[in-house]
């Protein structure tokens, strides 16, 4: 990771207009919210969820090496992309834990909570950005796997969080307006640095629909979404009743008939990651990886493998695909993954 990239990420909220605008907007709303008036409390309650939602937008965009999307009114929607709101209760829980630790053990208790948050919070947010699953983002095994995969540089996120936490505490001495700005800058800066740190590992897949599509294309995309959702619902019915073969036959037949098979593979994989049982998604991933290798898509296949290993570190492609996976990992310089695949 180049120091220049991290420095730019740290100041992204100030130098990137797409992030600076929501920063200023949230600053105004939070200042109203902390003014002490009854209306201010309502404003604060309404603006906190989109603040943390935009935090996840920044992490995911930086993890893909892209600029964060421009802020829109959709971020105030409480129903869409619910996973992006999950950092809010996590932070509230950590603050509550810190308050209890301080009252019970004083400064030593606070330092212990800060040390825990420094390791847990950055990794948890990244797992959430990768899997879109709140349950996975709290799972200690998934967090441990992420830290092993990115250990060579991800420790910087923990140190940066500690530094920013110290700055946020010092900002309490500033006037309310200045302190609010520092707190929001700290949040968005931490998000940008955290996402940038995992970008070289290529763990976040891009399965979104391209931007700026015309009205007709939007209708086609909506119809395609409905068709895939119907197939997935039918397949889930089979699989949940123990008929895995019948369920996956529905999905594989649907992919074969899909007008965008490559997009269909990614779509079904993403949706299966939200199911209660991970083994179904991992079984599907083995077929997905085989299809990617079939068409020479080696880098996307490696991303799927690494993503699945965050869920279960015993995950492997089908036996006959392992040599191709090892060759691809070595070709892209991921020697650690290649060695893991060689062990069994």
pLDDT in tens, 71-127: 666 666 655 567 778 888 888 888 888 889 888 888 788 788 888 888 889 999 888
Look at residue 208 and tell me if it is in a domain: no
Shared domain check, 246 and 167 = no
Mean pLDDT of 147-171: 84
Look at residue 147 and tell me if it is in a domain: yes
Nearest C-alpha neighbor of 149 from the set 205, 200, 201: 201
Look at residue 333 and tell me if it is in a domain: yes
Shared domain check, 86 and 228 = no
Summarised one tens digit per residue, pLDDT across range 31-42 is 888 887 778 778
Look at residue 206 and tell me if it is in a domain: no
Shared domain check, 237 and 171 = no
Residues written for the chain: 344
Predicted local distance difference test score (pLDDT) of residue 14: 92
* Angle in degrees, 0-180, between the axes of helices 38-63 and 17-33, rounded to the nearest 10: 160
Among the listed ranges 6-20, 93-107, 242-256, 261-275, which one has the minimum average pLDDT value?
93-107
pLDDT score of 260 more than 90: no
Tokens read off for 187:
């949040």
Shared domain check, 249 and 101 = no
Look at residue 207 and tell me if it is in a domain: no
**Domains contained in the chain, number:** 2
Is residue 154 within 8 A of residue 197, CB to CB? The reply is yes
Predicted local distance difference test score (pLDDT) of residue 217: 62
- Tell me how far CA of residue 257 lies from CA of 177, 253, 265, in angstroms: 57, 6, 12
Shared domain check, 220 and 180 = no
Contacting residues for 14 by C-beta, under 8 A, at least 6 apart: 20, 23, 185
Shared domain check, 235 and 130 = no
For the chain, the average pLDDT equals 84
Predicted local distance difference test score (pLDDT) of residue 1: 59
Shared domain check, 221 and 196 = no
pLDDT score of 265 more than 90: yes
Q: Report the distance separating Cα 313 and Cα 74, nearest Å.
A: 36
Choose one of 201, 233, 252: the last residue of a domain.
201
Nearest C-alpha neighbor of 78 from the set 48, 55, 56, 58: 48
Shared domain check, 170 and 44 = yes
Choose one of 201, 230, 261: the last residue of a domain.
201
Shared domain check, 114 and 7 = yes
Shared domain check, 148 and 183 = yes
Domain range for 329 is 215-342
Look at residue 94 and tell me if it is in a domain: yes
Look at residue 67 and tell me if it is in a domain: yes
Shared domain check, 157 and 47 = yes
Look at residue 210 and tell me if it is in a domain: no
Choose one of 159, 177, 201: the last residue of a domain.
201
Shared domain check, 108 and 257 = no
């Amino acid at each position: 990771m180049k120091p220049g990239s991290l420095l730019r990420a740290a100041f992204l909220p100030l130098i990137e207009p797409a992030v600076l605008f929501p920063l200023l907007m949230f600053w105004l709303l939070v200042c109203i919210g902390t003014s002490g008036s009854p209306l201010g409390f309502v404003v604060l309650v309404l603006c906190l969820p989109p603040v943390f939602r935009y935090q996840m937008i920044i992490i995911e965009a930086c993890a893909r090496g892209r600029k964060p999307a421009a802020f829109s009114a959709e971020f105030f929607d409480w129903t869409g992309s619910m996973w992006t709101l999950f950092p809010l209760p996590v932070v509230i829980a950590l603050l509550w834990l810190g308050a209890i630790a301080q009252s019970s053990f004083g400064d030593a208790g606070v330092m212990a909570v800060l040390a825990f948050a420094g390791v847990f919070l950055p990794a948890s947010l990244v797992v959430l950005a990768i899997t879109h699953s709140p349950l996975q983002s709290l799972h200690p095994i998934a967090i441990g796997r992420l830290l092993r995969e990115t250990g060579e540089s991800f420790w910087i996120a923990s140190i940066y969080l500690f530094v920013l936490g110290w700055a946020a505490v010092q900002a309490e001495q500033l006037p309310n307006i200045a302190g609010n700005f520092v707190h929001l800058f700290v949040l968005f800066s931490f998000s940008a640095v955290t996402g940038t740190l995992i970008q070289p590992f290529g763990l976040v897949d891009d399965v979104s629909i391209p931007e700026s599509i015309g009205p007709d294309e939007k209708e086609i995309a909506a119809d395609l979404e409905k068709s895939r959702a119907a197939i997935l619902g039918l397949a889930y019915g089979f699989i949940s009743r123990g008929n895995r073969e019948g369920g996956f036959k529905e999905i594989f037949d649907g992919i074969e008939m899909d007008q965008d098979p490559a997009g269909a593979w990614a779509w079904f994989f993403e949706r299966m990651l939200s199911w209660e049982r991970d083994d179904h998604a991992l079984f599907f991933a083995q077929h997905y990886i085989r299809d990617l290798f079939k068409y020479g898509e080696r880098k996307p296949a490696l991303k799927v493998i690494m993503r699945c290993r965050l869920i279960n570190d015993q995950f492997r492609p089908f036996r006959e695909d392992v040599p191709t996976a090892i060759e691809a990992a070595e070709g892209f310089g991921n020697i650690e993954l290649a060695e893991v695949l060689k062990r069994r």
